[in-house]
Amino acid sequence: MKNIIYYIKSKIGYFVLFIFILMSACLYYFLKEPASNSPLESKLHSSEAWKQSPFEKNRSELNEQPTVKVFISLPDQIDRLIATRNPANALKAYWLVTDCIHFQQWGNLPVFAFPVFREMTVTEKSDEVKLCSGLTERLKTASLENLSYAVKNGVSGAAIAFLQAGPFGDKSALESRPNDPLIIEWKKQAIAQLTEIANNGDYMSVLVLANEYDSSNGVVENNPSLAFTYAIATRQFDDRFGIPSQFNDERLARLQSGLSQDEINTATSSATTISANWLKNVREQGEILSNSVAAPAISPLNLLVESR
């Protein structure tokens, strides 16, 4: 009897052990990560799946596409600039036409590559030829109107461009028709515009007038006193910038050599005033920039509270 009981217990033990092993195997089978022989599923579970996705492939193909230049004709570029009604863009439109005029005359344009100028490349020349093929007499005439508009609205550099363009865009008229009332009137206008801006402290305008009054190239008459005035102002600017000045001590001495002491004192005082105007403008512009940066952003909630 005891043997029978022992036999039964041993069989039950083996059976329980067998059941335990079987359940463990089933549990392991169902809980482990399913393996798949499907190529698609294997690809989806791969660590490279995102890199091989259609989105990434398309983006890669887009990145490899060469840059395509979109050509915009000269008339279209000018129309777009003028449509903004921005005086600064009117000056840009003027320079587009002027550059084409010069390019067609010289076959080249200086390109500024800091810190020096260089000649145009073959590709740049080809592009300019294509652009300037749209130049017409109508655009030339309109460019002078655009320049005048920029000058009247005080665009930086516009008054200098007006002076350098010559009477109605024709520099030769200064020599061929010096006594023509229209030419004389144009010269008065050009000088008055540039003088107003220079006296307000515009560096480039001061520099141009200093050279104009010293060399007398046909627009202004040689005037040693005014030449010295604007030369001193330019020197003061350059000293503030800490850069070498074309009006060094030797040149300043030459400019003042024919002046009386009263003329020297007056010129020096005027130059100091011009320099002070420049410094004032710089400080005002600095304050505007500082205020625009420091001003706190106003949220819609703040606007709502303030409006109550």
Give the lowest-confidence range in 18-22, 146-150, 168-172, 246-250. 18-22
**Secondary structure of residue 298 in the 3-state scheme:** coil
Chain segment 112-157, per-residue pLDDT in tens: 776 788 999 999 999 999 999 999 999 999 999 999 999 999 998 9
**Secondary structure of residue 288 in the 3-state scheme:** helix
Q: 306: which residues sit within 8 A by CB, 6+ positions away?
A: 298
Q: Region 215-238: what's the mean pLDDT?
A: 91
**Secondary structure of residue 116 in the 3-state scheme:** strand
Q: Which of 181, 182, 180, 209 is nearest to 271 (CA)?
A: 209
Return the DSSP state at 49.
T
Q: Region 299-303: what's the mean pLDDT?
A: 33
The confidence score (pLDDT) of residue 295 equals 37
Q: Which two tokens stand for residue 7?
A: 């036999």
Q: Give the model's confidence band at 26: pLDDT under 50 very low, under 70 low, under 90 confident, else very high.
A: low
* Other Cβ atoms closer than 10 A to 204: 16
CB 75 within 8 A of CB 139: yes
**Dist. CA 106–CA 203, nearest whole Å:** 29
Q: Region 9-30: what's the mean pLDDT?
A: 52
**Dist. CA 234–CA 221, nearest whole Å:** 20
Q: Region 200-207: what's the mean pLDDT?
A: 94
Give me the percent of the chain exceeding a pLDDT of 70.
70
* Other Cβ atoms closer than 10 A to 272: 13
* Other Cβ atoms closer than 10 A to 103: 18
Per DSSP, helices labelled H in 51-180 are: 54-63, 74-83, 87-106, 122-132, 137-152, 158-165, 173-176
End-to-end CA distance of the chain: 102
Q: Region 177-192: what's the mean pLDDT?
A: 94
The count of C-alpha atoms lying within 13 angstroms of the C-alpha of 232, restricted to the half-sphere facing its C-beta, is 23
Please spell the DSSP secondary structure of 168-220, one letter per residue: GG-TTHHHH-TT-HHHHHHHHHHHHHHHHHHHTT-HHHHHHHHHHHHH--SSS
More confident residue, 109 or 4: 109
Average pLDDT of the residues of the chain: 80
Chain segment 33-82, per-residue pLDDT in tens: 454 454 444 444 444 444 445 555 555 555 666 677 789 999 999 999 99
How far, CA to CA in Å, does 205 sit from each of 50, 136, 148, 198? 61, 31, 16, 5
Q: Which two tokens stand for residue 95?
A: 């320079």
Chain segment 230-254, per-residue pLDDT in tens: 999 999 999 998 999 999 999 999 9
pTM reported for the whole predicted model: 0.67
Please give the distance of CA 301 from its chain centroid, rounded to a whole number: 35
**Dist. CA 30–CA 62, nearest whole Å:** 44
Enumerate the domain spans of the chain.
71-155, 193-291
Chain segment 89-117, per-residue pLDDT in tens: 999 999 999 999 999 999 999 887 767 88
